[in-house]
Amino acid sequence: MVSEDPDGKRSSGNMRLTRMPLGRSGRRVSFEKRLRLWLCLPGLLMLVLCWLLLRHHSDVLLQSLVLLGLALGWIFAVSVLMEQIVRPLQTLANVVAALREDDFSFRARGGQRNDAMGDLALEINRLAGMLQGQRASALEAMALVERVMESMKSPVLAFDPEGRLKLLNAAGERAFGLQVRTALGHSAVGLKLEQLLDVADEEVMSLGSGQQSVRWVVKRTSFRLRGVPHTLFVLSDVSAALREEERLAWERLIRVLGHEINNSLTPIKSIAGSLRGRLAALGSAFGERTDFERGLEVIENRSESLNRFLQAYRQLMGLPAPRLAPVSVATLAQRAALLERRVAVTVEGAAEVVVQVDADHIEQALINLVRNAADAALSPDHAGGGDPHVEIVWATVGSEVVIGVVDNGPGLTNAGNLFVPFYTTKPGGTGIGLVLAQQIAQAHRGSVQLANRTDGYTGCRADLRLPLAG
């Protein structure tokens, strides 16, 4: 137990910690010099005693030889003793210095028990072994953490109290378009991540806009690195889960609406047919009969149209699971192009690309995208740019193939409602073409994105992204 004496000196048990002796220059006298002085002092006393005993001897030469021999012998004994004491201490100091530099390869040799110096050497060797094991465990743990961080699909970021980025994994690089070697050390404002610092724990945030918007659940916690508090963020992409919940909500809504509307459509259509059959027997005037027939025709047509509308939505919500098989992108594009006869459709892609997809599903998605592009090219708002036409192109980007459907129509005006069921800007549209294409793409771990052309021409480009085979 360490305590403080009344005179200000600290003591531990019977051991008192005192100041080291100082030389004239104010420096501490080294251990070697103090040891040499203490070893030489008995020799000096021995020489004085011998001189006193021999001073009455008549032979001066003998006196000198005896004193000189004693002095040389004592100096040699002091040197040997200094070597036996200082050299092991220097060796142990070198071992401790190596440990301080994280070099655990040095060991003191010759140590044995029941020996003060040997016990010290053995204990230092054991300390070195323990530190080496702890160092190896720390390195293995750090390697495991780095491997886990790199394999995580969730972005992980850490910021210091000044808002500078200190940690970023591979998923974070992909999610935010950053690179570790250039992003670390920069502020969140400079990296356009200041929104992240203001998000509370378990809060949902959106990054991006429009179709590229991604929703994340943010897990926020604190930790210390070298004594400095840092903030750790772990983001979980919930866009797919929310889209699935949204799809299930639409499915339940359409199921209920379909049931209720069908219950009304069936008797309305039946009654309209019965009235038309009995109309001939009424013998009414020609004008009244014409009005009745026109009214009944409107009822039948609208009932049939509404029935087709509901069947289309049932088809959308009852999409079966894809059956994957290798298929050529060029084959899919050519099939979709042949089915569109209203405008010219050209097919021009890169080298042969094979994808692992359900050919029927992807072909239906391409048909919907080409039909949508043809409708845009044929719209009354067509701004020129030559005859209406559609082009199908594709190229590989990383581990994906991007199939683009390009038109020369007026372009997008309201991109926020493109994939909302029931929403359509066409007089006879049902609003399921793009939604069905998006669901097919997501079932294949892909996506559909629409944007106005950026090559200097008016129109829109729809990109169907699919993972490459294998």
Q: For all residues of the chain together, what is the average pLDDT?
A: 76
Q: How confident is the model at residue 2 (pLDDT cuts 50, 70, 90)?
A: very low
Q: What are phi and psi of 137, to 5 degrees?
A: -65, -40
Does residue 231 or residue 11 have the better pLDDT? 231
What residues does 347 pair with on adjacent strands?
A: 392
Greater confidence (282 vs 457) lies with: 457
pLDDT of residue 406: 92
Which residue type sits at 193? L
Q: What are the tens digits of pLDDT across the range 194-204?
A: 888 888 888 87
pLDDT at position 12 = 39
Give the pLDDT score at 17.
39
Question: pLDDT, tens digit, for every residue of 285-300?
Answer: 555 667 667 777 767 7
Kindly tell me if the per-residue pLDDT of 458 is higher than 70: yes
pLDDT value for 393: 92
Compute φ and ψ for 15, nearest 5 degrees: -95, 130
According to the 3-state scheme, what is the secondary structure of the chain? CEEECCCCCEEECCEECCCCCECCCCCECCHHHHHHHHHHHHHHHHHHHHHHHHCCCCCHHHHHHHHHHHHHHHHHHHHHHHHHHHHHHHHHHHHHHHHHCCCCCCCCCCCCCCCHHHHHHHHHHHHHHHHHHHHHHHHHHHHHHHHHHHHCCCCEEEECCCCEEEEECHHHHHHHCCCHHHHCCCECCCCCCHHHHCCCCCEEEEECCHHHCEEEEEEEEEEEECCEEEEEEEEEECHHHHHHHHHHHHHHHHHHHHHHHHHHHHHHHHHHHHHHHHHCCCCCCHHHHHHHHHHHHHHHHHHHHHHHHHHHHHHHHCCCCCCCEEEEHHHHHHHHHHCCCCCEEEECCCCCCEEEECHHHHHHHHHHHHHHHHHHHCCCCCCCCCCCEEEEEEEEECCEEEEEEEECCCCCCCHHHCCCCCCCCCCCCCCCHHHHHHHHHHHCCCEEEEEECCCCCCCEEEEEEEEECC
Q: Are 205 and 196 spatial neighbours (Cβ–Cβ below 8 Å)?
A: yes
Give the integer Cα–Cα distance in Å for 62 and 268.
148
Phi first, then psi: give them for residue 162, nearest 5 degrees: -85, 5
pLDDT in tens, 77-107: 888 888 778 788 888 888 888 888 877 777 7
pLDDT for residue 7 is more than 50 = no
pLDDT at 223: 85
pLDDT in tens, 382-440: 655 578 889 999 988 888 899 999 998 888 776 665 666 555 555 555 567 787 888 88
Over residues 310-333, the pLDDT tens digits come to: 666 666 566 677 888 898 898 888
Query: To the nearest 10°, the Cα dihedral for 100, 101, 105, 106?
Result: -50
Whether 67 has a pLDDT exceeding 60, the answer reads yes
Task: Give the per-residue pLDDT at 1.
Answer: 34
CA distance 142 to 126: 24
pTM of the prediction? 0.48
pLDDT band at 6 (very low <50, low <70, confident <90, very high): very low
CA dist., res. 95 & res. 106, Å (int): 6
Residue 182 pLDDT greater than 60, yes or no: yes
